[in-house]
Amino acid sequence: MSKEKFLESIVAGYTHKHDSFVLGVAKLDGEPVEGAQVKIPLKTLNRHGLIAGATGTGKTKTLQVMAEQLSMKGIPCLLMDLKGDLSGLAQAGQLNDHITWRHAAIGEPYVAEPMPVELLSLSNEPGARLRATVSEFGPVLFSKILDLNDTQSGVMAVIFKYCDDKRLPLIDLKDVKQVMQYLMDDGKEEISKEYGFVSPTSIGAIARKIIEIEQQGADVFFGERSFDVKDLCRMKDGKGMISILRLTDIQDRPKLFSTFMLSLLAEVYATFPEEGDADKPKLCIFIDEAHLVFKEASTALMDQMEAIIKLIRSKAVGVYFCTQDPTDVPDAILGQLGLKVQHALRAFTAKDRKAISKTAENYPVSDFYKTDEVLTSLGIGEALVTALNEKGVPTPLAATLLCAPKTRMDILTSKEIDTLVQNSDIARFYNEEIDKESAYEMLKKKMEAADEDEHREKIEEQKRAAEKVTGGRTRTTKEKSLVEEVTKNTMVRQVGRTIFRELTRGLLGSLGIGKR
User: How would DSSP label each residue in 346-378?
Assistant: ---SHHHHHHHHHHHTTS---SS--HHHHHTT-
Q: Are residues 366 and 451 in the same domain?
A: no
Residue 99 falls inside a structural domain: yes
Residue 204 falls inside a structural domain: no
Cα–Cα distances (Å) from 514 to 136, 138, 186, 299, 484, in that order, read 19, 20, 22, 28, 40
HSE (CB half, 13 Å, CA atoms) of 173?
29
Give dist(CA 183, CA 198) in Å, integer: 8
Which CATH number covers residue 13? 3.40.50.300
Q: Are residues 58 and 125 in the same domain?
A: yes
Residue 342 falls inside a structural domain: yes
Domain end position, chosen among 406, 430, 454: 430
Q: Are residues 308 and 421 in the same domain?
A: yes
pLDDT given for residue 485 in this prediction: 52
Q: Are residues 340 and 444 in the same domain?
A: no
Give dist(CA 334, CA 356) in Å, integer: 16
Q: Are residues 322 and 259 in the same domain?
A: yes
pLDDT in tens for each of the 516 residues of the chain?
567 777 787 877 787 777 899 999 999 888 999 889 999 999 999 999 999 998 889 999 999 999 999 999 999 999 998 888 899 999 999 999 999 999 999 999 999 999 999 999 887 788 998 888 888 888 888 888 888 888 999 999 999 998 888 888 888 888 888 888 888 887 788 888 888 888 889 999 999 999 888 887 777 788 888 889 999 999 999 999 999 998 876 666 766 777 777 788 888 988 999 987 788 999 999 988 888 777 766 677 678 778 888 889 899 999 999 998 888 888 888 888 999 999 998 878 777 788 888 888 878 888 888 888 899 899 999 999 999 988 888 888 999 999 999 999 999 999 999 999 999 999 999 988 776 666 667 767 766 666 666 666 777 777 777 777 665 555 555 544 544 554 455 444 444 444 434 433 443 343 333 333
| Cβ neighbours of residue 373 closer than 8 Å, sequence gap 6 or more | none
Residue 83 falls inside a structural domain: yes
Residue 393 falls inside a structural domain: yes
To the nearest 10°, the Cα dihedral for 15, 17, 23, 25?
Answer: 20
pLDDT given for residue 495 in this prediction: 42
Q: Are residues 336 and 360 in the same domain?
A: yes
What is the pTM assigned to this prediction?
A: 0.79
List the one residue out of 337, 321, 338, 314 whose CA is nearest residue 388. 338
Q: Are residues 271 and 341 in the same domain?
A: yes
Total structural domains within the chain: 2
pLDDT given for residue 516 in this prediction: 36
Q: Are residues 416 and 297 in the same domain?
A: yes
Contact of 125 with 250, CB cutoff 8 Å: no
To the nearest 10°, the Cα dihedral for 486, 492, 497, 502?
Answer: 160
Residue 515 falls inside a structural domain: no
Domain end position, chosen among 430, 463, 481: 430
- Structural domain of residue 452, as residue ranges? 439-508
Q: Are residues 377 and 260 in the same domain?
A: yes
Q: Are residues 365 and 450 in the same domain?
A: no
Residue 169 falls inside a structural domain: no
Residue 213 falls inside a structural domain: no
Domain end position, chosen among 410, 430, 450: 430
pLDDT given for residue 73 in this prediction: 95
Type of residue numbered 6: F
Q: Are residues 443 and 299 in the same domain?
A: no
pLDDT given for residue 440 in this prediction: 65
Q: Are residues 244 and 343 in the same domain?
A: yes
